[in-house]
Amino acid sequence: DAKTTQPPSMDCAEGRAANLPCNHSTISGNEYVYWYRQIHSQGPQYIIHGLKNNETNEMASLIITEDRKSSTLILPHATLRDTAVYYCIVSGWSGAGSYQLTFGKGTKLSVIP
């Protein structure tokens, strides 16, 4: 799977949009971009995923650049409950029979009152 690069930490004011960047310059054509988040001492929670087109659901929006080498997760109106570690993951068929999602250190988002 392609590797991803995320900033280690970010702050966002409550009520403002949080924009979390992710670089995945080695992504291949059949790999999806996934976003998860982990609130302290809990299991990670799926947020959204996409292949080429921008995606939106009730939690967030995912913007993928046209060359697919980077993406941005947008939380439109951040709340204190959005404080968590956010993981950007790229994954697809490895050819070896695996479906591994590799979770790096992610971005620690702190929403400030």
Partner 1 sequence: DGGITQSPKYLFRKEGQNVTLSCEQNLNHDAMYWYRQDPGQGLRLIYYSQIVNDFQKGDIAEGYSVSREKKESFPLTVTSAQKNPTAFYLCASSIKGRTSGFWNTGELFFGEGSRLTVL
Considering beta carbons, is residue 14 or 103 the nearer one to partner 1?
A: 103
Q: Which helix (H) or strand (E) holds 23?
A: strand 18-23
32 binds partner 1 (CB under 8 A): yes
Interface with partner 1 (CB under 8 A), residue from 24, 27, 33, 36:
36
- Tokens 């993928």 map to which residue? 64
42 binds partner 1 (CB under 8 A): yes
10 binds partner 1 (CB under 8 A): no
Q: Identify residues 94-113 at the interface with partner 1 (CB under 8 A).
A: 97-106
- Tokens 């439109």 map to which residue? 76
Q: Judge whether 82 and 69 are in contact, CB under 8 Å.
A: no
Residues 112/70/62/81 CA torsion (nearest 10 deg) = -20
Q: How far is the CB of 76 from partner 1 (least distance, A)?
A: 21
